[in-house]
Structure 1
Amino acid sequence: MVGYELEQPIDITKPVTSIGKLAARFATGHWAVLSGSPTLTQGHTGWNGSGVKTGITSRTGQPKLLKVVPSANSLEQIELQSFSTNMLTKALNGIIGLWVYVENQPGYQVGGTLTGSISISMSTNASSYKNGVVVAFNTHQVREGWNFLVFRMRNQLCLH
C-alpha cells in the first residue's frame, strides 16, 4: 500500500502503458442541449485572448473543454451531435472514462446532504436506442473538484 495513510494499492504507481483513445472532442458545434436549459460553453479553454487564466483549464492535454452550468437542480441533458463525424472512437469495447470538474455541488458544504449525479447514455444504434446502456455516477462517486469517472463493462458481448 502507498499514499499518505497507506490507503492506495501499490498498482497505482505503475507507469501508464496505454493512455486510451479520445472518444469525442468538446469543440464548438459538437454538442447540443437535449433537455432542460443549462448554459453550454463548447470549446472552453479557461484562458482569455491575452493568455490570462480565467477559470478551469484542461488537465488532460486536450486544448478544449465542454463547460455545462445547470440552470436549476433538475434533469438537464446534453447530446453529442452528428455521431458519424463527431464520435472519433466508435468502438469503446465496454470501457469509458470521463474527466469532470464539479463546482458548487449542492450539499457539499459541512453538514450538507449531497445531491446530483452524472449519467451517460450510450447505444450502437443512434436512431432507436434499442440496445442502449446508461452508466450513472452518484453522489458517492462524484465530488467537488476534478473527478475521473470510469466504467468498465464486465461482459463486452452485452454491447452487441
Structure 2
Amino acid sequence: MKEEKTVKELFSSYSDDILNYSMSLLKDSDDAKDAVQEVFIRFINSQSSFRGDCSYKTWLLVITRNYCYKKLNGKTNQPVLIDENFPHTYEPKLEEKITLNDALKKLKHEEFELIYLREYACHSYQEIAEILGISVDNVKVKLFRVREQLRKYLK
C-alpha cells in the first residue's frame, strides 16, 4: 500500500514535468501523454532496481528520456517552439519569438535538449548530467557551446 501511495505522490508531483519533457522530445501532445503513462508503468516495474543514487525526479526523467528516444527510434525531429508549451512571465515581441524559434530550430536535437533542461525545466548541472549520463563538466562545456551557437544565429 505504501508503494502505491508513493507512486501516486510521484505522479502528482512530476507528471507535468514528464509531460513537458516528453513534449519537447516527441513534438506530439498525444505521444507525450502516452509517454507519461508509459514512464510510470516502467517506473512501477523497475522500482526495485532504484538504488537511490539520484532523486526520484531525476530517475523518472531518465526513464522519460530513454522511452522517448526509443520511440523516436533515431529519427531527427525539430524541437517544439518555445511559445507552444512554455509560458513565461516575460512576453517577448513577436519578432523576438520568431527569431529565437528560428535559432532553436537550427540546433541539433541533443543541443535543444540541453537548453530545454537548463533554461526551461530549470535543472541544475548535476541533474542534467544524471539525466543525460554525462559529467557535470561535460554539461557545462556543451551548454557553453550551444549558447555560443545561439548567439551566432541571433546576430
The structure whose Rg is larger is 1
**TM-score, reference length from structure 2:** 0.31
| Richer in strand (by share) | 1
- Choose between structure 1 and 2 for higher RCO, CA contacts under 8 A separated by at least 6 residues: 2
| Richer in helix (by share) | 2
**TM-score, reference length from structure 1:** 0.31
